[in-house]
Amino acid sequence: MVKNRKPIIAGNWKMYKTATEAVAFVRNLELSVAGMDDVEVVVCPPFNALVPVVEALRGSRIAVGAQNVHWEDQGAFTGEISPGMLKDAGCRYVIIGHSERRQFFGETDVNVNRKVKAVLQHGLTPVMCVGELIEERESGITEKVVRAQTEAGLAGLTAGQVAGMVIAYEPVWAIGTGKTASDADAQQVIGYIRGLVNQLFGGEVAAQVCIQYGGSVKPQNTASLMAQPDIDGALVGGASLDVESFTGIIKAAAGN
Ligand code: PGA
């Protein structure tokens, strides 16, 4: 089956790399991925590195994303950053609702929804993360959990907004553990999410929305994940911190 959605491979650097290291990294990455134009490549450095990385990538087709955002435009919210500030810094994508934010920083579905709406209003592309805990998978409620997160996160959006966004399915037990979901399990849940988007926003939107897999993606497991009919790319943590392994993932995604 030929997919007409361009795969998006995004590197979530979490709290790794100084601005100096980030700039050196993207200069190498740019050379390393030259010619792999069939894949959209995104790097998401920590906030302090956003501007220098955007500068270093000027004229490049590698896009830059942030790892979090506040939903208000401005105000007395110490330690937060607004969608307009990220836009002004040159970001194009924003990761929202990553499981580490849900787990360690009290991120809720309601706030995820506020953030998704806010970044869309500023012309940024949300990468909205959903995924179940190991206990939830073991008790057979994966679809229920993913459904609740997806419905709440997308509440109140227009069909056009959803068509242009990215959803990342990241089973929490697969993040940073070396345990990737099997191709079949990842496809099953991502196919389910696409079906849900179909029910909520219609077939055209479901055919357009980009749905990534995330959780221990490596060069060796990328091609078979990307060959699944509903998987449109990957949100990569650990393996995105090294130019060689991140390039290996992009190369494997370009082969599909
Ligand atoms: P990982 O992280 O690739 O290191 O498992 C993925 C993520 O947290 O987005």
Q: Is residue 53 domain-resident?
A: yes
In this prediction the pTM is 0.97
CATH classification at residue 206: 3.20.20.70
Residue with CA closest to ligand 1 atom 3: 237
pLDDT in tens, 112-166: 999 999 999 999 999 999 999 999 999 999 999 999 999 999 999 999 999 999 9
Q: What does the pLDDT average to over 183-205?
A: 98
Q: Is residue 59 domain-resident?
A: yes
Letter string b/e over residues 150-166, b meaning 16 or more CB atoms within 10 A of that residue's CB = bebbbeebeeebbbebb
Q: Ligand 1 centre from 214 Cα, in Å?
A: 6
pLDDT in tens, 37-68: 999 999 999 999 999 999 999 999 999 999 99
Give the nearest ligand 1 atom to 175 CA.
5
Q: Is the dihedral of CA 52, 55, 61, 67 positive or negative?
A: positive
pLDDT the model gives residue 1: 47
Q: Is residue 2 domain-resident?
A: no
Residue with CA closest to ligand 1 atom 2: 237
- Domain that residue 13 falls in: 8-253
Q: Is residue 119 domain-resident?
A: yes
How far is Cα 65 from Cα 86, in angstroms, rounded to an integer? 8
Q: Is residue 148 domain-resident?
A: yes
Residue 256, pLDDT > 80, answer no
How far is Cα 249 from Cα 239, in angstroms, rounded to an integer? 8
How far is Cα 110 from Cα 165, in angstroms, rounded to an integer? 18
DSSP state of 124: P
pLDDT the model gives residue 4: 85
Q: How many domains does the chain have?
A: 1
Q: Is residue 55 domain-resident?
A: yes
Q: Is residue 1 domain-resident?
A: no
Q: Is residue 66 domain-resident?
A: yes
Q: Ligand 1 centre from 202 Cα, in Å?
A: 30
